[in-house]
Amino acid sequence: MLIHSASQLLTLAGGPQRGQALGTLGIIEDGAVLIRDGKIADVGRSSDLRATWPDEPALDAGGRVVLPGFVDPHTHAIWAGDRAAEFEMKLAGVSYLEILAQGGGIISTVRATRRASIEALQAQTRPRLRRMFAHGTTTVEIKTGYGLQTSTELRLLKAILQLDQLEPLDIVPTFLGAHAIAPEYKERPQEYVQLIVHTMLPLLRAWWETHAPGRPLPFVDVFCETGAFTLEQSRQILETARKLGFPLKIHADEFDNIGGAALAAELGAASADHLVKTSAADIAALARSETVAVGLPGTPFGLAECAYTPAQAIISADGYLALASDCNPGTAWNESMQFIIALACRYMKITPAQAIAAATINAAHALRLADRIGSLEIGKQADLLILDIPDYRHLGYRFGGNLVHTVIKKGRVYPVHKLLADETWN
Ligand code: NIG
Ligand code: FE
């Protein structure tokens, strides 16, 4: 199939973009892309590609913008129940960490999730994934973390792996048994850390061999934060995970600067995420590493807070910046990377071009998948979007709706109006 007549074809070619290189879109005007067997087989000007491939079935992009599918490298998209009542408490001035300390917050979602069957969890998650897909996310990371006990954490992982089979988007799993101190261990948190280190992680390693043979190991993530896991506990968990061969991620500096970002850099984590309160020294440590800094602007927005990830500091330090939705029931129930781009432009003070690179090739790097997805280059997976806009800057500039006209996933074409008309879709 030859997709042609894109007003602008954003290739994002050349690999992950560090520092000032962020925002290199690789624009081809009147662009075209050839897709064969679910992969990209050629990229160039429409006139050239139509001359080279005259008999290829054509899809006319009609002067719209074509770019790689969005990669959302940080979500908690699988959970049961909701926290609408807590939203009102937060608006009335009770803080996120206060609610967590009172046994609400993450723990309230844990109570609902532990009670939910795998079928119920999947039924509640599927509409979220479909909204993500219809809004242009073609690969999404999903974390466990609302079980905080071995059985439920593994049930969540199993549900995630099955959803990956059932849904058109690709799902990358992350084990977040260290999302909060399990309620049973409230008074003896170190024992919960020991449970993760001595039982959950080794068990997960063995479980993976039988439940996902041949599939790369999931990421292991820790919520390194005041009221969750200390820096020392985070180190213990991540070092154990690393020894077992798991790739790493971390939640760092969402509310307090306790050193998680530097730990991520030291341990070679794929990404350090949130980074709202990160010190200049920790930003410098990240920037010297391959660890991607992932900004989640939906989270301060969702919490009605004013501080956002300091994107310009990360860029000046020469770090990798990516964006993600953090889709979760407590701080940011939002499935749209388009909205994340709009927030990032305004509150993280980056340009639409920088935000687009952060939501595609750099987001792919945060999942260590930049060799397969995140750009339109020969040999890569054919995951792309046709946006109903004439110029890429409409991304960011416009917000609150859906600019996606067509999603193409592994070469399969999904017009958005058809997705939305499908009654089984929602
Ligand atoms: O990334 N910070 C920790 N985890 C989520 C929130 C999860 C929740 O509140 O349920 C986050 O913001
Ligand atoms: Fe998160």
Q: Where are the domains of the chain?
A: 2-68+374-419, 70-366
Note the ligand closest to the C-alpha atom of 329: 1
Question: How many CB atoms are located within 10 Å of the residue 421 CB?
Answer: 9
Q: Is 212 a residue whose pLDDT tops 90? A: yes
Q: Which amino acid is at 416?
A: V
298 and 309 Cβ atoms separated by less than 8 Å: no
Cα of 332 from ligand 1 centre, angstroms: 8
Ranking 98-102, 162-166, 248-252, 383-387 by mean pLDDT, the lowest is: 98-102
Task: Give percent of the chain above pLDDT 70.
Answer: 100
Structure tokens at 5: 């007549």
In the predicted model, is pLDDT for residue 162 greater than 80? yes
Please report the pLDDT score of residue 423 as a whole number.
75
Conformation bin of residue 269: beta by default, left when phi > 0, alpha when psi is -120 to 50 = beta
Dump pLDDT digits (tens) for 373-408. 999 999 999 999 999 999 999 999 999 999 999 999
Radius of gyration of the chain (CA): 21
Residue nearest to atom 7 of ligand 1 (CA): 330
Judge: domain 70-366, CATH 3.30.420.40: no
Task: Count Cβ atoms below 10 Å from residue 215 Cβ, excluding itself.
Answer: 12
Residue 75 Cα to ligand 2 middle (Å): 6
Cα separations in angstroms, 125 against 85, 102, 153, 156, 418: 20, 27, 15, 11, 21
Question: Which of 94-103, 154-163, 417-426 is predicted with the least confidence, judged by mean pLDDT?
Answer: 417-426
Whether residue 333 has its Cβ less than 6 Å from ligand 1:
no
Which mutation among 107, 179, 253 tests ligand 1's pocket best, with the greatest number of atoms within 8 A of CB? 179
Is the pLDDT score of 426 beyond 70?
no
Kindly give the distance from the C-alpha atom of residue 279 to the centroid of ligand 2, in angstroms, as a whole number. Answer: 20
Q: 88-92 long-range CB contacts below 8 Å, 24 or more apart?
A: 90/303, 90/304, 91/304
Instruction: Give ion ligand 2 contacts, CB < 5 A.
Output: 326
Q: For 82-95, how does the pLDDT look when each residue is reduced to its tens digit (9 = 90+)? A: 999 999 999 999 99
Q: How far is the CA of 31 from the centre of ligand 2 (A)?
A: 37
From 94, 251, 254, 331, give the residue whose CB has the most ligand 1 atoms within 8 Å, as the site to mutate: 331
User: What was the pLDDT predicted at 209?
Assistant: 96
Nearest CA to ligand 1 atom 12: 331
Q: Per-residue pLDDT averaged across 171-186, rounded?
A: 97
Contact call for residues 369 and 362 (beta carbons, < 8 A): no
Q: Tell me the pLDDT tens digit for each residue of 268-305.
A: 999 999 999 999 999 999 999 999 999 999 999 999 99
The pLDDT, as a whole number, for residue 424 is 75
- Fold annotation for 2-68+374-419: Urease, subunit C; domain 1 (2.30.40)
Q: Provide long-range contacts, Cβ within 8 A and 24+ apart, for 234-239.
A: 234/178, 234/260, 234/263, 235/263, 235/267, 236/193, 236/197, 237/178, 237/193, 237/196, 237/197, 237/201, 238/263, 238/267, 238/269, 239/267
Q: How far is the CA of 22 from the centre of ligand 2 (A)?
A: 23
- Tell me the pLDDT of the chain averaged across its residues: 97
Encode pLDDT of 324-381 as tens digits.
Answer: 999 999 999 999 999 999 999 999 999 999 999 999 999 999 999 999 999 999 999 9
Q: Of 71, 126, 140, 130, which Cα lies nearest the Cα of 375?
A: 71
Q: Is the pLDDT of residue 425 over 90?
A: no
Q: Tell me the mean pLDDT in the region 25-46.
A: 98
Give residue 34's pLDDT: 98
Q: Is the minimum distance from the CB of 299 to ligand 1 under 6 angstroms?
A: yes
pTM over 0.85: yes
Q: Please state, in angstroms and rounded to a whole number, the distance separating the CA atoms of residues 151 and 117.
A: 12
From the CB of 170, is ligand 1 less than 6 Å away?
Answer: no
C-alpha distances in Å from residue 181, one per residue of 94, 106, 192, 224, 257: 20, 10, 7, 11, 19
Is there a shared CATH topology between the 2-68+374-419 domain and the 70-366 domain? no
Mutation to probe ligand 1, out of 89, 303, 326 (largest number of atoms < 8 A from CB): 326
- The stretch 20-49 carries a mean pLDDT of 98
Nearest ligand, CA 180: 1
